[in-house]
Amino acid sequence: MGLEFQNKSGLVVYVTCGDPDMETTRHVVLEAIDAGADVIELGMPFSDPVADGPVIQRASERALKQGTRLEDVLTLAAEVRRRRPEAGLIIFSYLNPILRMGVPKFCATAEEAGLDGALVTDLPVEEAAEYLREMRERHLAAVFLAAPTSPADRLKAIAKSSSGFVYAVARTGITGARSEFPPEARELVARIRRHTKLPVAVGFGIATPEQFASAGSFADAVVVGSAIVETIERSAGREAEAVGAFVRGLLRGRG
């Protein structure tokens, strides 16, 4: 249990919980862990996912039609923790569902579920005081996003407030698999490392073993989201098997 990356380049896998249903999500997550994923981001579907591309937007729509709630994601986290006690587990959410539950209740429930932490994608570090206080009290990692456009003083604040790891957004814009890996990602990772000894995970658009190997050559971990969600979308009836095969394929690029 924890957010440590034992390998040269760790793998963080994002899934949209409830797409196409929670039972399938559970099977997908367990298979991804067994295939070699170090950390799972349990994505909370949201009605207005402004930072997400069309693949994850469609997944959120399908999950919300299933009635997926934050409580369901926390219950899933507890189930995964019981079955895979060593896996890294975080919730990936927009702020609104957490505010609706209440930050203290969310943090308490997350701790009880055995989560390692959370990433709240639209919570600026400058407005995170209550959240950070509650997360630290519950011994939960608070993962923050850093972008190529972040100035040095903001990167320093993000690094100071982060725990677990820092998520380096490889490019500006929305999520989605891309054919080319942006050169500014390497520079961003180096800039973050000037301010923290935490692991740095790089993500946004990574979909092939070659991209995984490229990102893993300069980051501590690689985040893969849209490519996983797209694999689920096109593999009806065999989602977990397809994701397991995809993850094992990616990891062939691990140095």
Cα torsion 104, 105, 109, 112 to 10°: value is 60
Identify the burial level of 78 via C-beta atoms within 10 angstroms of its C-beta, where 0-12 means exposed, 13-18 middle and 19 or more buried.
middle
| DSSP, residue by residue, 131-149 | HHHHHHHTT-EEE-EE-TT
**Terminal Cα-to-Cα distance of the chain (whole angstroms):** 24
Q: Which of 31, 52, 116, 134 is catalytic?
A: 52
Q: Give dist(CA 215, CA 143) in Å, integer.
A: 19
Query: Cα separations (Å) of 8 from 11, 38, 47, 188, 251?
Result: 10, 11, 36, 19, 11
Residue 44 corresponds to which tokens in the numbers above? 């909370």
| DSSP, residue by residue, 4-32 | ---SSSEEEEEEETTSS-HHHHHHHHHHH
Q: Which of 31, 41, 72, 220 is catalytic?
A: 41
| DSSP, residue by residue, 62-76 | HHHHTT--HHHHHHH
Known catalytic membership, residue 52? yes
Q: Give dist(CA 200, CA 163) in Å, integer.
A: 11
Question: 51 with 174: CB under 8 angstroms?
Answer: yes
183-197: b or e for each residue (b if 16 or more CB lie within 10 Å)?
ebbbebbebbbebbe
Residue numbers annotated as active site = 41, 52
